[in-house]
A and B are shown apart, each in its own frame.
Chain A
Amino acid sequence: MALLEVRNLSVDFRTAGGQFRAVDSVDFTVDSGEVLGIVGESGSGKSVSMLALMGLLPWTATITADALMFDGVDLSSADAKTRRSIIGHDISMIFQEPMSSLNPCFTIGFQIREALKAHLLLSRRERQMRAIELLQQVGLPEPEKRLRAFPHQLSGGMNQRVMIAMAIACKPKLLIADEPTTALDVTIQAQILELLLQLKEDTGMALVLITHDMGVVAETAQRVSVQYAGQKVEEQSVESLFADPHHPYTEALLAALPERANSKRLPTIPGVVPGQFDRPNGCLFSPRCTQADTRCTEQAPQPCDAALGFARCHYPLSGGEPCR
């Protein structure tokens, strides 16, 4: 059985302009020891679906799902106490901006020990020992000294290591990393990604990596889910996604990468991601799709079968050619 199974998850926000559907019937599963990459542009709902799982959305959000099963527990129907014992303990999350995710008023040590105090029955001394051990595990030199430091005294890469230390403090079964390296330099990004993969190997935890960087996905993920305007449009193993994308959006996105270009002028995707007030009828990608016809603009497509990467398209691509 999968460690995490999400079926038909939708998130609606109540806004001044009416209900806005940020996540639209998304399904995914994550197995133990697996790296699932979720890619998409801004506004594709990739962060919101994970925040919904963590219960971190504001009260304006309405979450509906057929199933939110984590390790045999249904998170959507579980009571608050059960949820609290799972969130932060068995599932933990790290965010994009390490500087703003840490509290500037408290030392690193205080914040790591706080996570341990909330979830584990450890004495004060044991918590301190575990905090030192965690900083060693994430590769921070001089852990005793660092525990007394405040976030502003460390660099962005070090702060992200501290965030990772906090996230793995209770040996989670699932770690969700939301754009963990976007704010970091490339050499530091490589270090952090390597650390995450190493921790995954050592502890056997599952890793969900949310990113917009196709390069990061290609090098770290095993399975990739592509999201567009709140919907999952495709899911495949990483090799086949890059070799044979089935949804026209994935194909266009990959073609727009400068490193895949074979001419000076890059292929582009015309238009922009639809927002709250210009959501098209039918397929959400139809206004920007090169092969959309009247069926696409009138009728919303349903996901195809696994052989076609669950592509949400009437005419999924196979070997670059649409099957009509």
Chain B
Amino acid sequence: MSLNTMSSTVLVEAQGLCRDYHVSGGLFSRSSVVQALSDASFTLESGKTLAVVGESGCGKSTLARVVTMIESPTRGVLTLDGHTISAEAEINASEQAALRESVQIVFQDPFGSLNPRQTIGRILEEPVVINRPDMPRAEREAQAREMLNLTGLRPEHYDRYPHMFSGGQRQRIAVARALMLEPKVLVLDEPVSALDLSIQSQILNLLIDLQERLNLAYLFISHDLSVVRHMADDVMVMYLGRVVETGSASEVFECPRHPYTRALLSATPVADPTRKRERIRLEGELPSPLNPPSGCAFNPRCWKRASRCTAERPALTPDTGHRMACFYPLNADGE
């Protein structure tokens, strides 16, 4: 791909994406529905990074599963590379297979995501074998060796097994596997949280390099805000399945408007002992998604709570750019 053809095109567009799970009740309790993801809308362009941040149970992994078509959305429309996926309009299998090539995923734990009984060569070639069965074997192998080179590994690693590699190298293998089908979108589900600090920066640099070279779009899921701040162009903050604030990384980090974003930022430890801490203490823990609070999901922990917050749920502000779902958004001074 030459540089002048790299214009940014919208690759992923989500409109009101929802994913419900049915939880079967026991013998005596009724079954219920968990809304793991509600009403998520965003766009992702080529060459850009959209980061999704939030605590456990906020729906960020569900979002990754919907975008990678591991699960289909319950409601809403997802447009991937010009093809529309929705609950109403089932797409046929061949179209889905073609779409799978353009969206690939890298998982958090490189120790669990690589089959210990396959050589690196087989691991890398497997997606090609499945999706492009008519590609000759020699070509496949050449592509795998080239991919090892591209991700900072050595071609002779082709015949080795995953246990012979360190955590950072395994994550490189996982990235290489995801790139074998030349995807346009890479979903990165906590790609560096299992790695040591000195290895983390190596993998982040690799991801930055690959994005520049291949014009990839990243959906970057992480709970580490300092990594997100470094990597992301746009940020989406989620709480209990809903987007509470979204905007460019600089807007969200410099001037968080939603109280939850502000609390999350203030709770993140900063590696600077001279910095004066002004910590916002959040009381309590995440409510159960089975039984979410009425109104704004954040209201039981919010220090700005008013009666309106418990009565109705705030929608995302309609303007483009920096949007938040709060009745009483904070200004730059946190008021």
Contacts and interface: CB of A to CB of B under 8 A. Distances in A.
Real binding pair: yes
B248 to A, nearest CB: 16
B202 A268 contact: yes
A273 B166 CA distance: 10
Nearest to B301: A187
B205 A214 contact: no
B281 A219 contact: no
A189 interface: yes
A97 interface: no
B198 A41 contact: yes
- Report the interface size class on chain B: 35 or more
A242 B281 contact: no
Interface stretch (B6-14, B66-74, B181-189, B269-277): B269-277
Name the 5 nearest CB pairs between A and B, nearest first.
A215-B269, A258-B230, A185-B55, A190-B267, A266-B201
Contacts, number: 115
A265 B231 CA distance: 10
B285 interface: yes
Interface stretch (B33-41, B87-95, B219-227): B219-227
A218 interface: yes
A138 interface: no
A258 B267 contact: no
A186 B267 contact: yes
13 contacts: A41-B197, A187-B55, A188-B285, A190-B266, A219-B277, A257-B271, A258-B204, A258-B227, A258-B229, A259-B270, A265-B205, A268-B205, A269-B198
Interface of B: 55-56, 166, 168, 196-202, 204-205, 208, 223, 225-227, 229-231, 263-264, 266-275, 277, 279, 281-282, 285-286
Given A187-B267, A191-B281, A265 B208 contact: yes
Give the interface centre of A155, A239, A272 by most chain B CB atoms within 10 Å.
A272
Contacts of B269: 189-190, 193, 213, 215-216, 218-219
A32 B35 CA distance: 49
Contacts of A186: 55, 223, 225, 264, 267-268
A215 B223 CA distance: 14
A259 B226 contact: yes
Interface in A172-189: 185-189
Interface of A: 41-42, 155, 157-158, 185-191, 193-194, 212-219, 238-239, 242-243, 252-254, 256-261, 264-269, 272-273
A212 B166 CA distance: 18
Nearest to B231: A258
Nearest to B226: A259
B281 A259 contact: no
Contacts of A260: 271
A242 B273 contact: yes
Nearest to A141: B284
Contact of B285 (A41, A158, A269): A158
A5 B197 CA distance: 29
Contacts of B226: 215, 257-259
A189 B263 CA distance: 12
A239 B272 CA distance: 8
Contacts of B272: 218, 242, 259
Nearest to A221: B273
A260 B264 CA distance: 19
Contacts of B271: 214-215, 217-218, 242, 254, 257, 259-260
A157 B263 CA distance: 17
Contact of A155 (B201, B267, B285): B285
B268 A215 contact: yes
Given A257-B197, A272-B199, 12 more contacts: A41-B196, A157-B285, A189-B267, A194-B281, A243-B274, A253-B197, A253-B198, A257-B271, A259-B226, A259-B230, A266-B205, A268-B198
A257 to B, nearest CB: 5
A215 B226 CA distance: 10
A265 B203 CA distance: 11
Given A41-B198, A185-B56, A272 B168 contact: yes
A137 B200 CA distance: 37
A218 B168 contact: no
Contacts of B201: 256, 258, 266-269
A238 B273 contact: yes
Contacts of A188: 55, 285
A243 B274 CA distance: 9
Residue from A253, A259, A261 whose CB has the most chain B CB atoms within 10 Å: A259
Contacts of A191: 281-282
Given A256-B198, A265-B205, A266-B204, A190 B279 contact: yes
